[in-house]
Amino acid sequence: MPLPLIKWIYQWLQERTMSIHHGDSQSKILKLHVGAPQGSVIAATLFRIHIHFLPKYFFRFFTHLFADDVAILLKGSLEKTLSQNIIELEKQAKIAMHTLLSFSENHLLPVNVKKTKAMLVHTAVSSSQPKIFFQIQRIEFVQNFKYLGVEIRVKLGWGNYIKARILKIRNVYNTLKQLFRQIPIELIHIRKKLFYAFGLLHFIWLFMTWFYFTEIQQNEIEHICVWTTYSI
């Protein structure tokens, strides 16, 4: 990074203040010694640089970093029983939480434990869950959660995700159908633009995970896709 740019960023971070405005009223001005102004592009960029190397701390595991959210995947062994895997996963989780604590303390970034969730993916009918702690706080286990817009469940099934997405497609199409009645077929290019803007993106979400679906699920999606595009 060019030295003049570093100096400019340094000066930009100096002598920052904060106050709250409401109508004509203003709170007293407070000096900020850490952090950056909220809402600015450069603040978000600096934060992203600040946590850029977070995944490298977890070199033992598979990680995915998006903004300030990190997902950590702990793998079991197929040749072991579920109870044996749970013991092994607890050991791995202890290492991961210790690593996260180290990063948090070194970079002055607190971990929001209440928003930190764990999920055990398995095929057993019923099972116990590993005990995972961040310091003295226990991490909550959930049956499903959304990550980057995709719902992930303990059985890795896609049924509920597809149903929710198809429901959105039907709702969008019903709204578009009302608009299409006011747009003559001669202006089909306008109809297409409306569909591309409000309907197509939901199909794209489904096609991103297409090869994980069953044949029945794929046929259902194809039927909806043909039905909506034909109706344009």
Domain edges within the chain = 3-48, 53-153, 159-230
202 burial type by CB count under 10 A (0-12 exposed, 13-18 middle, 19+ buried): buried
Please enumerate in sequence order all residues whose Cβ is within 8 A of that of 230, keeping only pairs 6 or more positions apart, or say none: none
Q: What is the pLDDT of residue 232?
A: 66
Q: What is the pLDDT of residue 171?
A: 87
Q: What is the pLDDT of residue 91?
A: 92
Beta strands in 36-121 (DSSP E): 62-66, 69-73, 117-118
Q: What is the pLDDT of residue 99?
A: 93
The pLDDT averaged over each successive group of 10 residues in the chain (232 residues) is 86 83 88 76 84 87 86 87 89 93 89 90 78 91 82 80 85 85 85 84 82 86 77 66
Q: What is the pLDDT of residue 181?
A: 83
End-to-end CA distance of the chain: 51
Using DSSP, state whether 101 is helix, strand or coil: helix
